[in-house]
Structure 1
Amino acid sequence: MTTILLTNDDGFTSDGIRALFQALQQIGRVMMVAPDRDKSAVSHSLTMHRPLRVKHMETDIIAIDGTPTDCVALALQKILKTVPDLLVSGINNGPNLGDDISYSGTVSAALEGTMHAVPSLAVSMTEKTTDYRYAAAIAAELAKLTLSKGLPENTLLNINIPAEAAIKGVRVTRQGRRMWRNAIQETTDPWGRKLFWIGGGSPYTDSATDTDIHAVKEGYVSVTPIHIDKTNHEGIFQLRDDWQLEKNGLQSG
């Protein structure tokens, strides 16, 4: 029987992961191993300063008091008896587009699965919702395709799904650039001491039309292959040939 490891960064009680849990059961056995609370924007962090507690909540549902990466690492190395056929992370309540994927616990969980050679998908809704059924159905179809066709080596799929009424189709995209203006708010506490709050602001993006950001803006499901090799291979030639770094070395003073 096909085995699917399911996780997220919003916690095991979130509506998104529960909808996905039901949809993926049409494919095989689903084992949910997810954080016991919201762990959004923790990126690829591991908990190394304290032990982790594993809680069996329901049949095939386990909660861990750690990060999404903790959940995947423990599931693959300690909890599951066999390597799963697929890992799905999500459904995230909000987009993971452009530069945001660097902070995303949803994408990082899929990255951890990819590092362990498990085909992995990260799934996000680009708009806040309480009904994830149609998004879960889309994710299940992409899960089936992944199981039948496979993925390129060392590659995960980052999937972003717009609102149901807006969907026109699917686009295979690249990661765009999506940064934020005024993302750090300055305030004070009751004693007048300065505080900073990270979040909010206004997004600004590049103008390219082949990106994940443009696809969802136009009403398409964005499917982006993300490679775990972050090397800029053109940069290697610049450092070797233009900088002559290997030939000249480093000279101080």
Structure 2
Amino acid sequence: MVQIQSPRFFFFGGSLLILLSNDDGFRSEGLIALKNELSKTDEVWVVAPEREQTCISHAITLHKPLRITDHGDRLFSTNGTPADAVLLGLRVVLPRTPDLVVSGVNTGPNMGQDVVYSGTVAAAREGAFVGLSAIACSLSARRAFRFDTAVRAVSHIVDAIRDRIGSDDVFMNVNIPNIPWDMLQGFVVTRLGRRIYNGKVIERIDPRGGKYYWVGSDGVERFESIEGSDFHAVEKGYVSITPLHWDTTSHRNIEKFKQIFRGG
């Protein structure tokens, strides 16, 4: 396996207090599997949505009260979004500020532009907003999920940064191939690739004659497999680790736009 280096972290060491969340809901097989795996070495608290919230992005709830349900064994659910769940975990549920926020394991990939839509990524980003180390992890599959491989990969990453946990506004987006552990080629740091969306909208008629719509795709994966990207890494059997930042400013275009709007 490729050794993972994690810059800009200070020494911590020892057992971690981990806040675990997701966007698939607190009963998700991937979340429970990851809780069980990480609990072997660390103290894990789960605060997750009570139902699936795929593609909810970084929405927070302002129009209704949020409630928390305690299911025992450090497992909590909320009627809010993934970002709400992390915020409630940080401010209400956990006994102290966690050392690490982990989101997943998501049932499906989050690569390229997926990170904009993803509730899984948003949960990790919420941790990064307050300066915590955070990891979003997704299994690149639509069925027959190899959660055994995924949780082992995430545990490997947590161990790699264990002595480097610290305050940072950069978080990791991890995508794991849906293959047996012994078939993994290693771990590689990547950039976001480009998914090709078809933007399909399907029109239907309800029993009363009114129109309604389903938004989505035809289920066919389309992407540019360019070397160095997350798509290429996963396609080649590597665990992809992409460092992300909440600042989406296009810095290389600032001077260009200054020229356009100079004196405006």
Q: TM-score, normalised by structure 2?
A: 0.88
**C-alpha separation in 2, matches of 1:32 and 1:206:** 35
Instruction: Name stretches of at least 5 consecutive residues in structure 2 with no aligned partner.
Output: 1-14
Paired residues for 1:236-247 under 5 Å: 236-240=254-258, 242-243=259-260, 245=261, 247=262
Query: What residue number does 2:173 align with?
Result: 158
DSSP 3-state at the match of 2:113:
helix
DSSP 3-state at the match of 1:98:
coil
Equivalent of 2:150 in 135, 147, 150:
135
Query: What residue number does 1:93 align with?
Result: 107
> For residues 58 and 130 of structure 1, do their structure 2 counterparts lie closer, same or farther at Cα, with a shift above 3 Å needed?
farther
Paired residues for 1:1-253 under 5 Å: 1-127=15-141, 128-150=143-165, 153-165=168-180, 167-201=184-218, 202-240=220-258, 242-243=259-260, 245=261, 247-249=262-264
Task: Give the C-alpha shift of residue 198 in structure 1.
Answer: 1.1
Q: 1:32-62 deviations in whole A, cap 9, x for unaligned?
A: 1111111111000001111011100021111
Cα contact 1:181–1:203 (8 A) shared by 2: no
Instruction: Name stretches of at least 5 consecutive residues in structure 1 with no aligned partner.
Output: none
Q: 1:215-245 deviations in whole A, cap 9, x for unaligned?
A: 11122111100111111111111112x31x2
- Tell me the C-alpha RMSD between the 2 structures: 1.7
State the percentage of identical aligned residues: 37
Cα contact 1:119–1:146 (8 A) shared by 2: no
Query: What residue number does 2:4 align with?
Result: none
DSSP 3-state at the match of 2:150:
helix
Q: 1:48-100 deviations in whole A, cap 9, x for unaligned?
A: 11101110002111111111000001111122221101111000000001111
Higher relative contact order (CA 8 A, sep 6+): 2
Q: TM-score, normalised by structure 1?
A: 0.91
**C-alpha separation in 1, matches of 2:26 and 2:252:** 41
